Structure formats: structure tokens, C-alpha cells
Structure 1
Amino acid sequence: MATQNGAAQNTVSDWLASAHPTPEAAHREWNAAGIALIPTGRVFDAVRLPAAIVHRVVGSALPELVRARLGNGAVIHDAYEPGRWYYALVRPGTCAQHDAYRLDGGTWLGIPEAGRTTRPGAYWIRPPRHREDFYPEDGITELIRRSGEGPTRPRTLPELDTIEQSCRALFDDNGPDPSPQHAAAATTQARNHLTTLLPVTQEAATQLPLDHTTQARLARALAEAYRQLEADSSSLNLARQHAHAKRLARCCLDQVRVLRELEGCGWPGGLGAP
């Protein structure tokens, strides 16, 4: 099975590299950095979708849920700017009716190596399974159509006071020593709080200008949140599991702080506005 998977990846890699004027150069870039700059327009075109569209349609900003709900076809998530863009590979010459989203032919796009399915950096949220595994044109049309249904951001903020109080309680050194059950419950609770906050902070990352004073801190907060969510705490001993719960809680507090700052400056039009 491993040999078959490796052969399939090699086939996909050769197909992607064939779009490069010098395919060997694409393979060298993948070997060196995991990303290769490859031009669109010949072997594949690409449609660039703002994360706000994708997350609104699939109902989540969490990578595992986006991956499960996007459907078939190759899609890249550019995580250098957390949550900002998704790139769907489409058959050359299609999606002409979506020129506002389609990259011009000859645009050099960062293409992850075939097996790169996690951060950091650009990765395949939906990796190509075979040659010409294009995202369907009607799927692009449906995504864009459905993006116009409903608000452009969550209508209400989570209960920030409740989340903050719960997370700060984990740092109370005057409480009893944590039991295994308490550490497990604290980890689950902190994870739940973080997954509640993420869609809102992710939405902020897609809408704030790149030069906004909060953008850099927001990007760092999102990157750390995903790093902690992806950490496996199932095999940690009691002390380490409790420490992991505290790291998750700290991520929550960082995001609560940023959301309150944005709400105070009226981002955008007032968080929680109907």
C-alpha cells in the first residue's frame, strides 16, 4: 500500500511539474522547500477564493472540517496569511464566468509538493488524488453562489466573558492539584472554547487590511492556536496534559484580547452587529 501511495504521489508530482517550463526545477524546489512556483494556464488554471467565502459556505474555519466539506478536487490553502486564500485547481480555459476570482494565465502560483497536507505554509487542504484531479466548475459556481447567502461574518460574538473566566481559572495556583479527570476535562473545555473562537478570529484575518495594526498579532494568535489544536495530548502524563490545557487556554485568552480590541475600534461596522 505504501508503494502504491508513493507511486500515485510521483504521478501527481510529475503532472504538476509538467506545467513548469523546466519540470526538473519544480522537483528541485519541492525537495528544497516543499513549495514550487509553477505557472497557471497550460496544465491547470487556478481560482483564488477568499477564505471568507469558503468558511461561510462550509460553516467552519477548522481545516479538518473544511477538508471534509469541500468535496472532491484539488485545493490549496495558503496558510502564510492564515485563512486568507484558497486556490482551487481547475481545467484550463474553464470558469471564465468567474474572472474576478480566476488567476490570469501565466501567474506563478506556489504549489505544495503532492504529499504536503499540513502547515506551516501553503499546503493541500484537498490534495490531488490523480492527474487532472480538478475542482469541478459547477462546484466553484456553487461556492460563489452560496457565499452570498447570509452574513459576511458571524453575527454575534461568542460569550467572551465566560470563555475568559473559564480559561483564567486554569491558572489559579490556589486550587487543588489537578486529577487526571480534571486535566482531561480542562483540555476538552479549552479546545471547545478555541474552536468556538476560531471562526470569528479567522474571519477577522480575512477582512482586515494587511497593514492593520492588529493583523500581525492576529496572524500569530491563529498560527499558535492551530499548532496547539494539532498537538496530540492523548499520551501525555498528568503534568504535561495539564500544561497542554493551559497552552490551549492561553490561545483562547490571546484571541479574546484581540477580539475585544477589534470590537472597541468598530471592526468592521461593529462585531455582533445585526
Structure 2
Amino acid sequence: MTTLNGNKQLLSAWLAGADPVPDAVHAAWAERGMALLPLGRRFDAIRVSAERIHAAVNSSEPGTVADFLGGWLAGPVIRDIRSGLGPYYVLIATGAPWNGAEERLSTNTFLGVPRLGRPVSMLTRWVVPPSAPGALCDPAHLRALLLTAEALRVVEP
């Protein structure tokens, strides 16, 4: 159990380090279960519609989507859960190339990041939590996944 808690603390510290004032991030997580983190410092995010993700995974069931994305993207993914249409945010390295149609969010943008552990925020959830500091999604894997969604859309009647 100590390793799990130690890893959670390490990951929380790494995420909070995206903000110039990490203590404010920890306070927001404690108070609201979510903190707005600036992008472009530790990571960027690709905003992908739920429709595209669900088409590629062939499911909208949260457990199925989480398992699939965890295996395919092998990095952290957050979902806006205010509605069933809420987008997914795939976290990638700041310098990673991205040429897809989905919007890349970076410098001068903030992302609502839930605290690790038991969810408390009514706005966002970890679909795939981070596994290690700096372990982010590979944009090439995301691109391949979205191309699959496009191919499926063409073949479906």
C-alpha cells in the first residue's frame, strides 16, 4: 500500500508542477477535487469528441473505453463528464508533433485536471490516470485510432 500511495504522491507532485504555484494546485484538489492547470509546460492536450472516441472503440461504456484507451494510448486521458457528449483530453508531450484535425491545446490554455484517486469532481474524470511522471500518450497512436474511427464511419451503412 505504501508504494501505491507513494506513486500517487509522486504523480500528483509531477502534475501540480505544471503550474508555477504547485501548492495552489494541491489546495484546489483538496477543496474541489479539480484544478485548472496551464498547458504547454509539462504537457499539452488533444481534445477529441466523444463521438470519435466511441466510434473508434466501438463502445461508449466507460469501462470498455477506459480499458481500450489504456492499452492503445498507454498514457493519461481525461474526460469532461458534464454531459454524455463531453470530450476526451489526450495528454501528450509539449514538443510532440500533431497534425490531426482535432484541436491541440497548449500555451495560454488551462485544462481542468481531476485529483488522482477517488473521483470527487462533477466536471472531469480520469479515464486513464497517469502511470509515471512524464509518461504521456503518443500522438501517432492517437492518430491511428482516429483514422480507424474514420474508416469505420465510411463502412457503416
- The two structures have a TM-score, normalised by structure 2, of 0.89
Q: Distance in 2 between matches of 1:117 and 1:68?
A: 18
Q: Counterpart of 1:142 in structure 2: which amino acid?
A: A
Pairing of 1:145-164 with structure 2 (within 5 A): 145-151=147-153
1:36 to 1:119, Cα distance in 2 relative to 1, 3 A: closer
| Structure 1 segment 40-55 matched on structure 2, within 5 A | 40-55=39-54
What does the per-residue CA deviation read over 1:211-241, in whole Å, with 9 as the maximum and x for residues that have no partner? xxxxxxxxxxxxxxxxxxxxxxxxxxxxxxx
Give the corresponding residue for 1:128: 130
Given the superposition, is the C-alpha separation of residues 3 and 86 from structure 1 closer, same or farther in structure 2, using an over 3 Å criterion? same
Q: Which runs of 5+ in 2 are unaligned?
A: none
Cα distance in 1 for residues equivalent to 2:101 and 2:92? 13
Q: Which protein is richer in strand relative to its size?
A: 2
Larger RCO, structure (CA 8 Å, separation 6 or more)? 2
Query: C-alpha distance in 2, partners of 1:119/1:36?
Result: 10
Partner of 1:115: 117
* TM alignment of 1:227-238, pairs within 5 A: none
| Segments ≥4 residues shifted beyond 4 Å | 116-119
| Alignment gaps of 5+ in structure 1 | 156-273
Inter-partner Cα distance in structure 1 for 2:85 and 2:66: 13
Are the equivalent residues in 2 in contact too, given 1:78–1:86 (CA < 8 A)? yes
Question: For residues 61 and 109 of structure 1, what CA distance do their matches in structure 2 show?
Answer: 23
CA gap of 1:69–1:143, structure 2 versus 1, over 3 A, is same
Distance 1:95 1:53, change over 3 A: farther
* Aligned partners of 2:28 and 2:35 also within 8 Å: yes
TM-score by length of 1: 0.53
- Aligned partner of 1:12 in structure 2 is 11
SS at match of 1:81: coil
* RMSD value, Cα: 1.9
Partner amino acid for 1:7?
Answer: G
* Structure 1 residue aligned with 2:80: 78
- Contact 1:114/1:127, CA 8 A, preserved across alignment: yes
Please give the residue correspondences for 1:1-274 in structure 2 after superposition, counting only pairs within 5 Å. 2-70=1-69, 71=71, 72-98=74-100, 100-116=102-118, 120-151=122-153, 274=157
The aligned length equals: 153
Deviation for aligned residue 1:95: 3.3
Q: Displacement, 1:42?
A: 0.7
Identity of aligned residues (%): 33
8 A contact 2:33–2:121 mirrored in 1: no
Q: Which one-letter code corresponds to 1:21 in the other structure?
A: P
